[in-house]
Amino acid sequence: MPHPRPHATTLLAESPAVPEGMTATVPRQLVHRASVAETFLTGATSIDTDRFTVFAEWPRAHQLHVSPDRSAYEPLLVAETVRQAGALLAHTAYEVPLGHQFVLRELRITTRPEHLVIGAAPAQPVLHITVTDVTRRGGRPAGFRYDAEIRLGEERVATVHLAATWTSAAVYRRLRGGRTAATVSALPVPPGLPPATVDRALPADVVLAPAGHPDGWQLRVDTGHAVFFDHPLDHVPGMLLLEAARQAARARTGTAHRTPTSFHAVFHQYGELDLPLWIEAESRSAANGTDVQVVGRQGESTVFECGVGTREC
């Protein structure tokens, strides 16, 4: 249930609200990004207890989150924008200190691709967010769930439900058993699938490698990728796993016929950089089209599961 906060009206002291148009992005540290170019939020306001409006700007060209022909925004751009919004609200509205680790637990996203067309100017989406549950540990917020409706002008372009937790740097170090970005080296990156197979323009953006099975691949973990690894990490980032689900659905259904439009991902544990991570996909019949169930495994453990909804292109 919603929890009252003593400073709800002073949201974003470090970041001005931007009700109309963009003046600047929010501080990149508040959304856990190192690059300003990868920071999509421009401001936020508090509407009521646990209700917020967050403003963003989407670029017309992007290495990953814009279609290869630059005609449309990718659904996972919505996911990244809502993820950034969660980090922003955690730090500014729920008093989570900078330096705490933000852990994505669950993500459900449904998009309307017909409204994600790129126009003559960068899109300025507005996110209407309602926090539905706050968990506490030792009297302090330790995680939350929230629903988001994303609008471009009068059109609702997506709905999202996200669950996340956060933990202090000291607790995180204990949980990771001394594994850090400096002490863990990623496996060599294997050759990827042909880019057209997964609807990517560049080989560097292909995250699946052949594994000798038509419905299974090895995850390509390139720690030099400027989007997935915007800054050094000691584990496989959630957005890379989501992209793996997207590409697996593309490879499974064929890029010429169906396109991914919705995702329901549950993250069970960290994906380790120095162990192979295997991606498996299985088509399942659904009322609204062909759904693809994607699972990521390391050894005997399931790292994440993601149901991908598709529709005719």
Res 259: pLDDT: 87
Sheet strand arrangement including 258-267: 41-48, 51-56, 126-137, 140-152, 155-167, 101-111, 258-267, 301-312, 289-298, 278-286, 216-219, 208-213
For the chain, list residues with pLDDT below 70.
1-23, 255-256, 286-290, 313
Res 13: pLDDT: 47
Using CA atoms, how far apart are residues 11 and 227, in angstroms rounded to an integer? 28
Res 274: pLDDT: 96
Domains 8-174 and 178-312 in one fold: yes
Res 10: pLDDT: 42
Using CA atoms, how far apart are residues 293 and 283, in angstroms rounded to an integer? 6
Q: The CATH number of 8-174 is which of 3.10.129.10, 3.30.1330.10, 1.10.3720.10, 3.30.2350.10?
A: 3.10.129.10
Res 288: pLDDT: 57
The tokens for 53 are 């409006």
What beta strand segments (E) does the chain contain? 41-48, 51-56, 101-111, 126-137, 140-152, 155-167, 208-213, 216-219, 258-267, 278-286, 289-298, 301-312
Res 5: pLDDT: 44
Topology of 178-312 in CATH? Answer: Thiol Ester Dehydrase; Chain A (3.10.129)
What beta strand segments (E) does 198-238 contain? 208-213, 216-219
58 neighbors 70 (Cβ within 8 angstroms): no
Domain borders along the chain are 8-174, 178-312
Using CA atoms, how far apart are residues 83 and 163, in angstroms rounded to an integer? 10
Res 204: pLDDT: 96
Res 299: pLDDT: 94
